[in-house]
Amino acid sequence: MKERLQEIKEEALKQIQSSDDEKQLQDVRVYFLGKKGQITEVLKGMGKLSKEERPVIGQLANEVRDEITEALESKKTKLEQAAMERQLKEESIDVTLPGRPAQVGGPHLLRKVIRNIEDLFTGMGYQVAEGPEVETDFYNFESLNLPKNHPARDMQDSFFITEELLMRTQTSPVQARTLRKHEGKGPVKIICPGKVYRRDTDDATHSHQFTQIEGLYVDENVRMSDLKGTLNEFAKHLFGEERAIRLRPSFFPFTEPSVEMDISCKICGGEGCSVCKGSGWIEILGAGMVHPNVLEMAGFDSEKYSGFAFGMGPERIAMLKYGIEDIRHFYTNDVRFLKQFHGV
């Protein structure tokens, strides 16, 4: 039995050494150390031995088993290391290669236009004011000289939530709220950017939701010439130093007198073309001197204070400035369209 155990050890060590992968190594383990393995088969003959021989053969069998087990573990470790080295070699990364460029986004074109306008007016001493998009009838209409049943309300179809709540149709309510906060004491100098809502049928020039920026300046001795100078500075900042402006009489319930402001067409330089419909001018915004009734309802003495207000649509400004023909492009989230203006 001693000779047989020695043969098993030598044969096992030889097979372990020649194993090329863990599957072969496992087969060797089962063949020599398993329940039906070679060492187990030898130990089944222990009953035929004398009492003196049994401990000797048992100890030898344990020593052979331990040597085979140690050799198996050692070989397994080497195979695992070799496999890891092969994997590292096959999956190696060339760190000298340039990395994949990450796609970088940018602000939406409307956000850029709004920020540009905000920068201009804050540099002129205006503060940015904001208010709720769900507004009361009082602030959206009545406080702006539009009492209930006033015919001018028909100019704007509105999204009413209840009889007294609606989605604001303009950012003018922010002006009314700010005036009330000042409790009749000037000066008040604000611009009010934000989203507004009107029941329009969406097409190339209309949208049920769009953005608006309004401005308000109330103080003692504010004149129409102050309004014209402010708008002239705005036009040159947004459209270029060569742009001229003109003011045409108009009507808004919350200003008196009221005007529409046009800028000279940048395509034809005022000579007349298809863009300006042959007039040489393009309408850009509405403005006027704050109506005395609006001042009085906000607690201001209209004999002491005066002011001007103006309102513009960033979408229209962006369309004119960058030659965009359809307002819906701003809201369809087409990345191909938006990418064109990352650098502006």
When comparing pLDDT for 202 and 151, which is higher?
202
When comparing pLDDT for 288 and 13, which is higher?
288
- Looking at residue 27, its pLDDT comes to 85
Q: What would the mean pLDDT of 194-203 be, rounded to a whole number?
A: 90
Looking at 60, 91, 122, the residue that finishes a domain is: 91
- Looking at residue 20, its pLDDT comes to 83
151 shares its domain with 220: yes
Which domain CATH number covers 255? Answer: 3.30.930.10
- Looking at residue 9, its pLDDT comes to 82
Instruction: Report the range of poorest mean pLDDT among 91-105, 240-254, 290-304.
Output: 91-105
Q: What would the mean pLDDT of 307-328 be, rounded to a whole number?
A: 93
H helix intervals, the chain: 2-18, 22-33, 38-43, 53-90, 109-123, 137-140, 172-181, 224-239, 292-297, 314-322, 335-339
Looking at 46, 62, 91, the residue that finishes a domain is: 91
Instruction: Report the range of poorest mean pLDDT among 27-36, 44-53, 171-180, 253-262.
Output: 44-53
- Residue pLDDT, tens place only, 134-163: 999 999 999 999 888 777 666 557 889 998
75 shares its domain with 220: no
76 shares its domain with 125: no
59 shares its domain with 23: yes
Residues 6 or more apart whose CB falls under 8 angstroms from that of 255 comprise 287, 288, 289, 290, 291, 308, 309
Closest CA to 317 of 130, 107, 112, 105: 112
- Residue pLDDT, tens place only, 264-316: 988 777 788 877 888 889 999 999 999 999 999 999 999 999 999 999 999 99
Report whether 107 contacts 311 (CB < 8 A). Answer: no
- Looking at residue 7, its pLDDT comes to 82
Q: What would the mean pLDDT of 78-82 be, rounded to a whole number?
A: 88
118 shares its domain with 202: yes
147 phi and psi, to 5 degrees? -65, 165
Q: What would the mean pLDDT of 246-253 be, rounded to a whole number?
A: 94
- Looking at residue 302, its pLDDT comes to 95
Cα–Cα distances (Å) from 217 to 110, 223, 338, in that order, read: 24, 10, 34
Residue 233 pLDDT level (bands cut at 50, 70, 90)? very high
Q: What would the mean pLDDT of 327-339 be, rounded to a whole number?
A: 90
Looking at 91, 117, 136, the residue that finishes a domain is: 91
Establish if 37 belongs to a structural domain: yes
154 shares its domain with 207: yes
**pTM for this one?**
0.69
Instruction: Report the range of poorest mean pLDDT among 9-18, 89-98, 117-126.
Output: 89-98
* Count of structural domains within the chain: 2
Beta bridge mates, 135: 166
300 shares its domain with 206: yes
Q: What would the mean pLDDT of 331-335 be, rounded to a whole number?
A: 90
84 shares its domain with 129: no
Q: State the residue for tokens 């402006």.
A: 245
- Looking at residue 228, its pLDDT comes to 96
- Looking at residue 152, its pLDDT comes to 62
Establish if 159 belongs to a structural domain: yes
Q: In whole numbers, what is the pLDDT of the chain averaged over residues?
A: 88
Establish if 104 belongs to a structural domain: no
Q: What's the one-letter identity of residue 55?
A: P
193 phi and psi, to 5 degrees? -85, 150
74 shares its domain with 157: no
274 shares its domain with 319: yes
Burial of 274 by CB count in 10 Å (0-12 exposed, 13-18 middle, 19+ buried)? exposed
- Looking at residue 155, its pLDDT comes to 56
Q: In what order do the strands lie in the sheet with 127-128?
A: 127-128, 188-197, 209-220, 305-312, 281-290, 255-264, 245-252
Cα–Cα distances (Å) from 332 to 130, 200, 204, in that order, read: 25, 17, 13
Beta bridge mates, 249: 259
Residue 104 pLDDT level (bands cut at 50, 70, 90)? confident
Beta bridge mates, 289: 308
Predicted confidence (pLDDT) at residue 175 exceeds the cutoff of 80: yes
Q: What would the mean pLDDT of 46-55 be, rounded to a whole number?
A: 72
Distance CA 119, CA 241 (A): 17
Establish if 98 belongs to a structural domain: no
73 is in an annotated binding site: no
Establish if 222 belongs to a structural domain: yes
Range picked from 4-18, 20-34, 64-78, 133-147 for highest mean pLDDT: 133-147
Distance CA 192, CA 182 (A): 16
74 shares its domain with 121: no
- Looking at residue 291, its pLDDT comes to 96
Task: Supply the range of the domain harboring residue 224.
Answer: 109-340
Predicted confidence (pLDDT) at residue 115 exceeds the cutoff of 80: yes
142 shares its domain with 274: yes
Establish if 102 belongs to a structural domain: no
Distance CA 36, CA 145 (A): 102
Residue 67 pLDDT level (bands cut at 50, 70, 90)? confident
Establish if 48 belongs to a structural domain: yes
Q: Is the peptide bond before 257 cis (omega within 30 degrees of 0)?
A: yes
Distance CA 40, CA 31 (A): 10
Report whether 342 contacts 106 (CB < 8 A). Answer: yes
Establish if 100 belongs to a structural domain: no
Distance CA 177, CA 181 (A): 6
